[in-house]
Structure 1
């Protein structure tokens, strides 16, 4: 609230100094919250990566950035750095690793964008103003430096029609969701039940499927509310931040499976799209996904569960491309063309439904435990076959078809509006 008052008061009065106001206030807030040693640690990472950025070699920026990220994700370097931060309070660990991790990713974005700058270099002050924007500092999302720099230095602060109404509505909606979710998950024990394997083994197949799905919904709601609140504050500051994650119920392809759009945008721009190009060639796509999930594994913190999660999601993303390539060549493309659009949509819906449950199983692995994910997979795929397996698949198929129809209608509406704008 204090942050809103300060920024909303000063920023419109001095639009040419908005980035400085945001940076100074954010830096002071971090200093007061975490202390001098944490501030010195973050600044040391900034200085190192800024120095490397001046060389304008992308591989050096990546190497230095990944080394810095490894220093807070791997033992004994992370424990040593954490021990430098004195004091103790409930959120200290979360704020420490969140602040350091997101700072390093932002510094890497700054360094890589500086490599693209044709004339001269960005200044160290630009990096600090970018890194210490308070709403994004501890929990993200990450807005790449080029987007943030362009938006925060825009002096024409004009609100769109009904923008304040939409911001107020979103703020009230997030508050209501926070209260509802807190009550629901306090009494439903969705997160604690999977940890009791004796109890879980006694549940029916449908209960297990619902429990696995509910755990993923919980993680999505948590991410959606957290990023939604942060994005509301950023929108008040005349920024266009990364959007909250897509609803888990609407995910049926691995290419859209991400709970943090900021990290996803960062990885796509600097790793996935940079290496994969147009994503049409299987070898380049394989290399791009391996590199992307290697960075993701380091970001999440290397361990057995993360390794397994990364492997299966990497495989799922590539398998989608392999299947799409296979069905785009004769005789499969000829057969699909002959069967008609409706039948083609139904067949694709079956594959999408299976894909949805693969996404659920792979991500439940990272949310709960390897044992719970194996139990759900074994019960739904093997022991529950054919009744439970086909029943769950049928329900998911119907949901996927509804989602795809909604997306189709939305695309048609957007095309109609575009044609109307061109005609006018």
Structure 2
């Protein structure tokens, strides 16, 4: 935990970061008035809505169809748990197959079932290497191209939903096969299919590692209480509230449409340009807060320990924490099945860098073999590696002696926050590649290096405020945790 700073200084950082982001977002609103965007929005607002985010518009439409089916699944699941929990896997699989057949079509359903079966067949050879090879081939064929989809559907939205679902199922199948292999157990195909096609997380994630899922599946039946039901309802209202916030923002901030016009983005003034980047990041976070939050709420209602939704990116300034806290399910997967095994028994700096590189190569393949994803993955690898090297240097006794001699604890915190700003800016721009593609990402780098001293100094100052806010929030979380452990 970092040293505390005077309260006046801390408040100034919070005020600076809040005012900076607020003014930047206001400039995005002003810039958006020059665009004619989207579709008619909510009638009582009298404004048009930005409908350029294909992910969000597809998800919002599909989740309305999906939710009633999830409620039915949970109700029947509780009855099965009460009578014979060994039938849960069969129920999860069959019910999802029925749902997919009605909504996506039989041909698509067969293809989606075929994918985990192929990887499961490779696991029968009890070879980790073969499981990974077949998994990666499956990703390339089914999840990064339309080779396996052209003959089953010509509908773009169906194709998109199938692609993301098969990407999730790839992770689940690997988790199932490797977990069972580690305990010298084969695991039945029906258990795998029930796990892969668990409806609340089938399309929107997050990935729940198999051991967590299995613990929830085998947990004894417990009756529903008012508190349990109330918690589910409260969380659903909470995440649907965030969905309303996302929808409302699209009526006033047209940053999604801006992404489609790089020439327009290039002409934005500095405040609007970086405000657009902030909006892209926040909207991306809110999208996954809604999706992961709703999915995890239903999973936890069945006592399955699902990962938490993303933490707000406006209070995270380090690459490592962004990876740890944005998509916890993917982070746990990478750590358990790739990073830790690659470290070996005698981890050193070289092994850590190589293990990290393998994780990001897999992340690149899993997210899609596109140039902007490659740039995003590479920049993230560089950022995480620089952080790791800096932590190693900080652990050296010679460095600690020098730091203690030259800097007070308060100045040490200020120095580290200052040094983290360049990495924080690079992290933000790397994500702009992921959100908006390589054309827009290139614009941010070009504008950064061609920007005036004044513009870059202002950007640097507000990013420094963000770093201090992030540190202070982390300190508060740690103090709260320590207090809870002390009282618990």
TM-score, normalising length from structure 1? 0.91
Q: Is 1:328 equivalent to 2:395 in the alignment?
A: yes
> Which residue number in structure 2 is paired with residue 216 of structure 1?
281
Asked if the contact 1:73–1:298 (Cα under 8 Å) also holds between the matched residues in 2, the reply is: no
> Which residue number in structure 1 is paired with residue 33 of structure 2?
none
Asked if the contact 1:350–1:397 (Cα under 8 Å) also holds between the matched residues in 2, the reply is: yes
CA separation of 1:9/1:326 partners in 2, compared to 1, >3 Å: closer, same or farther? closer
Higher alpha-carbon deviation: 129-138 or 26-35: 26-35
**Quick one: distance in 2 between partners of 1:97 and 1:254?**
27
Bigger RCO of structures 1 and 2 (CA < 8 A, at least 6 apart): 2
Q: Is 1:22 equivalent to 2:92 in the alignment?
A: yes
> Which residue number in structure 2 is paired with residue 155 of structure 1?
220
Structure 1 spans left out of the alignment, 5+ residues = none
**Quick one: distance in 1 between partners of 2:68 and 2:346?**
46
Q: Deviations over 1:40-65 (max 9, x none)?
A: 22232222211211222111111111
> Which residue number in structure 2 is paired with residue 101 of structure 1?
167
Shift of 1:158: 6.0
Q: Is 1:176 equivalent to 2:241 in the alignment?
A: yes
> Which residue number in structure 2 is paired with residue 396 of structure 1?
463
Asked if the contact 1:72–1:97 (Cα under 8 Å) also holds between the matched residues in 2, the reply is: yes
Indicate which of 189, 192, 195 corresponds to 1:130: 195
3-state DSSP class of the match of 2:240?
Answer: helix
Asked if the contact 2:243–2:286 (Cα under 8 Å) also holds between the matched residues in 1, the reply is: no
Higher alpha-carbon deviation: 31-40 or 241-250: 31-40
Asked if the contact 2:256–2:280 (Cα under 8 Å) also holds between the matched residues in 1, the reply is: yes
Q: Is 1:314 equivalent to 2:381 in the alignment?
A: yes
Higher alpha-carbon deviation: 139-148 or 166-175: 166-175
CA separation of 1:211/1:2 partners in 2, compared to 1, >3 Å: closer, same or farther? closer
> Which residue number in structure 1 is paired with residue 434 of structure 2?
366
Higher alpha-carbon deviation: 349-358 or 247-256: 349-358
> Which residue number in structure 2 is paired with residue 46 of structure 1?
116
3-state DSSP class of the match of 1:14?
Answer: helix
> Which residue number in structure 2 is paired with residue 351 of structure 1?
419
Indicate which of 162, 171, 190 corresponds to 2:255: 190
Q: Is 1:298 equivalent to 2:365 in the alignment?
A: yes
1:165-314 to 2 correspondence within 5 Å?
A: 165-258=230-323, 259-276=326-343, 281-314=348-381
Q: Deviations over 1:276-312 (max 9, x none)?
A: 3699621011111111111111111112212211111
3-state DSSP class of the match of 1:192?
Answer: helix
Indicate which of 133, 140, 144 corresponds to 1:63: 133
**Quick one: distance in 1 between partners of 2:352 and 2:450?**
32
**Quick one: distance in 2 between partners of 1:108 and 1:328?**
36
Shift of 1:321: 1.0
How many corresponding residue pairs? 415
Structure 2 spans left out of the alignment, 5+ residues = 1-66
**Quick one: distance in 2 between partners of 1:20 and 1:163?**
26
Asked if the contact 1:275–1:288 (Cα under 8 Å) also holds between the matched residues in 2, the reply is: yes
Q: Is 1:380 equivalent to 2:448 in the alignment?
A: yes
**Quick one: distance in 1 between partners of 2:385 and 2:89?**
41
**Quick one: distance in 2 between partners of 1:232 and 1:307?**
33
**Quick one: distance in 1 between partners of 2:227 and 2:255?**
38
CA separation of 1:24/1:198 partners in 2, compared to 1, >3 Å: closer, same or farther? closer
**Quick one: distance in 2 between partners of 1:279 and 1:28?**
49
Asked if the contact 1:254–1:313 (Cα under 8 Å) also holds between the matched residues in 2, the reply is: yes
Shift of 1:160: 8.4
Asked if the contact 2:212–2:304 (Cα under 8 Å) also holds between the matched residues in 1, the reply is: no
Asked if the contact 1:56–1:115 (Cα under 8 Å) also holds between the matched residues in 2, the reply is: yes
**Quick one: distance in 1 between partners of 2:389 and 2:475?**
24
**Quick one: distance in 1 between partners of 2:146 and 2:395?**
51
Asked if the contact 1:205–1:384 (Cα under 8 Å) also holds between the matched residues in 2, the reply is: no
Asked if the contact 1:98–1:138 (Cα under 8 Å) also holds between the matched residues in 2, the reply is: yes
3-state DSSP class of the match of 2:306?
Answer: coil
